């Protein structure tokens, strides 16, 4: 009987203390910086990638997972009209856009 009473009193005391001091601790928890959020997100991504790499039948390329999976998936969520080019595709696009042409641009034809 005494131990049940002691547990009840202890529980009530902790509830009262949590009600009194809990709201004072909440702003400190909310004051997490964006850097903390980024670190937490990267840790989560790393854990998930490690889990996939460990349990997937084939080897998982980090470049392929990032360039074909994580980054395009993130962009679809943030802005469905954006697209991502991996470094190789981007380099090819730059070559196409900045191609160099030589010559004077004339054509020679034979008449009759």
Which pTM was predicted? 0.48
What confidence tier does 7 reach under pLDDT thresholds 50, 70, 90?
very low
pLDDT tens profile 30-78: 556 778 888 888 899 889 888 888 888 888 888 888 888 888 888 888 8
- What are the CA-CA distances from residue 49 to residues 43, 56, 63, 84 (Å)? 10, 10, 12, 20
User: Degrees (nearest 5) of the Cα angle 46, 85, 33?
Assistant: 40
- What are the CA-CA distances from residue 66 to residues 46, 85, 94, 111 (Å)? 11, 11, 21, 59
| DSSP-derived secondary structure for 51-81 | HHHHHSSS---HHHHIIIIIHHHHHHHH-TT
User: Degrees (nearest 5) of the Cα angle 25, 21, 29?
Assistant: 10
């Amino acid at each position: 009987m005494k131990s049940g009473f002691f547990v009840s009193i202890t529980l009530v005391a902790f509830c009262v203390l949590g009600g009194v001091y809990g709201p004072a601790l909440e702003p400190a928890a909310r004051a997490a910086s964006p850097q903390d959020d980024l670190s937490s997100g990267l840790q989560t991504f790393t854990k998930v990638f490690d889990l996939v790499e460990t349990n997937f039948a084939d080897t998982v390329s980090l470049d392929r997972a990032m360039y074909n999976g994580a980054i395009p998936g993130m962009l679809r969520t943030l802005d469905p009209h954006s697209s991502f080019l991996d470094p190789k595709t981007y380099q090819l696009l730059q070559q196409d856009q900045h191609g160099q042409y030589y010559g004077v641009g004339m054509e020679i034809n034979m008449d009759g």
